Amino acid sequence: MSLEGPRPLKQLVTLATRPRVFSGCLIIALTAFATLSAQTGPNLTGTWLNLSDPNATDVNVAATLPNALLIITHTGNRFDLSRSWTKAPIKEAHVCDGRENKNDYSAVVERTKCRWEPSNGGTLVIEGTIGREDGSTVGTLRQRYHLDKEGLLIVERTRDITNSSVTSSGARTYTQQYRKVPPPAREVNR
């Protein structure tokens, strides 16, 4: 069907205003929007070695050091993260669709939401509260993940603890650089 001339365009407009056709077009448009908005930044999937930690000499050593190794699985609006720690990795799961995410480890419970900001070619922002298992809040957190021009992963973390009974109180902000590396040859502390 050619859209040249006024008659075919008028037929198309008439067809689109029928309730069934309109609702079908609306569903297609909303599905396309949801797919496009599910991820509006770079894919951060990979194994990332912390360049800011002089002790993180290789992947297997880094796997036993706090925040020296990140393993990210980033698919659509899911952002799963495993951060190395001394005894076992800290695992977080985030869905960036407006829902609250709950991640807990030890006696800490983090309730966060994540979203994409257009800055730096696409920055993933995770922010929320830090609390206890009983539901009380002890502070706030904000994490930002983006790639720089050289392909390094830049992670900026801010934690503001208002109740020192969980950990040291006060605001703390730090920025770390990570480079993408092959995954560990063996699973450490998993």
Asked whether residue 89 falls in the same domain as residue 153, the answer is: yes
Lowest mean per-residue pLDDT among 21-25, 89-93, 101-105: 21-25
Domain extent for 13:
6-38
Asked if the structure places residue 115 within a domain, the reply is yes
Distant-in-sequence contacts of 120-129, Cβ < 8 A, 24+ apart: 120/146, 120/147, 120/148, 120/154, 121/41, 121/42, 121/146, 121/147, 122/40, 122/41, 122/42, 122/146, 122/147, 123/41, 124/41, 124/44, 124/79, 124/96, 126/79, 126/94, 126/101, 128/100, 128/101
Asked whether residue 32 falls in the same domain as residue 51, the answer is: no
Asked whether residue 33 falls in the same domain as residue 86, the answer is: no
Lowest mean per-residue pLDDT among 10-24, 42-56, 162-176: 10-24
Q: What is the pLDDT of residues 7-39, one digit of tens each?
A: 655 665 665 566 665 556 555 554 444 444 445
Give the pTM: 0.73
